[in-house]
Chains A and B, each alone.
Chain A
């Protein structure tokens, strides 16, 4: 089953507005990552936040993590048409014995209207 689940599934905003996407997960994690996928392309890493961090910034991106609620949010400020893409959260599942797995949610499809 999916570890991370994004909400909403789709989001449409006007250029210049802020976009907020949420991710919930089920089990304890070491870190949580956000990726972007433009149509027909591979995923691109945006930001990683560790379980002992609460907030992280990168340019127009702001990520928060609440481990007590098992949730994270991605905020894109002053959105641009080029931000139109699907956004995925990914959580790790360190299952021990040297095994490691990054589990992706199904994504939020963001449309930024010029």
Chain B
């Protein structure tokens, strides 16, 4: 298995631009998680899906953030408009069950200028 795939691996954009991060979970996993990692705040859970349905988005910082999971093999995290404070590494993780081991992707390093 290729593991969790994320794209792009690096993204540099200007403030105000729309940013779309993509994630392909491990085949057969039905739970998908989006995290953000910064030096100041560590690893924060933004939102997670179970069977493609968003369960808890209380970690999404603002309305500028949105996430979708149109099918079991694809999810997006969108930031519109982006701000410099959104600069971070964004991880996607999947698991075969909600309480199970989470498998992380390599992350997307986002820099908003």
Which A28-69 residues sit within 8 Å CB-CB of chain B?
30-31, 33, 35, 41-45, 48
Taking the closest CB of chain B, its distance from the CB of A113, in whole angstroms, is: 23
Q: Contact: B99 with A107, CB < 8 Å?
A: no
Binary A-proximity of B8-20 (CB < 8 A = 1, otherwise 0): 0000000000000
Q: Contact: B104 with A44, CB < 8 Å?
A: yes
Binds B, one of A19-27, A74-82, A95-103: A95-103
Q: Contact: A43 with B98, CB < 8 Å?
A: no
Q: A100-B98, A101-B56 are in contact. Are A42 and B43 (CB under 8 A)?
A: no
Q: How large is the interface on B (under 10, 10 to 19, 20 to 34, 35 or more residues)?
A: 20 to 34
Binary A-proximity of B42-72 (CB < 8 A = 1, otherwise 0): 1101001010000110000000000000000
CB contact between A92 and one of B4, B55, B99 (< 8 Å): that residue: B99
Q: Does A87 contact B (CB under 8 A)?
A: no
Q: Contact: A104 with B43, CB < 8 Å?
A: yes
Q: Does B105 contact A (CB under 8 A)?
A: yes
Which residue on chain B has the smallest CB distance to residue A94? Answer: B99
Which residues from B are CB-within-8-Å of A94? 99
Q: A42-B105, A42-B106, A101-B56 are in contact. Are A30 and B99 (CB under 8 A)?
A: yes
Q: A104-B42, A106-B42 are in contact. Are A45 and B91 (CB under 8 A)?
A: no
Q: How large is the interface on A (under 10, 10 to 19, 20 to 34, 35 or more residues)?
A: 20 to 34
CB contact between B55 and one of A31, A42, A43, A99 (< 8 Å): that residue: A99
CB contact between B103 and one of A45, A99, A100 (< 8 Å): that residue: A45
Taking the closest CB of chain A, its distance from the CB of B57, in whole angstroms, is: 11
What's the Cα separation between A2 and B106 when bound, in Å? Answer: 23
Q: A42-B91, A104-B42 are in contact. Are A48 and B104 (CB under 8 A)?
A: no
CB contact between A48 and one of B35, B43, B101, B105 (< 8 Å): that residue: B101
Q: Contact: B99 with A42, CB < 8 Å?
A: no
A positions within 8 Å CB-CB of B: 2, 30-31, 33, 35, 41-45, 48, 88, 92, 94, 98-107
- Could you list some 9 contacts between A and B, CB below 8 A? A2-B42, A31-B99, A35-B104, A42-B106, A43-B43, A45-B101, A100-B99, A104-B35, A104-B42
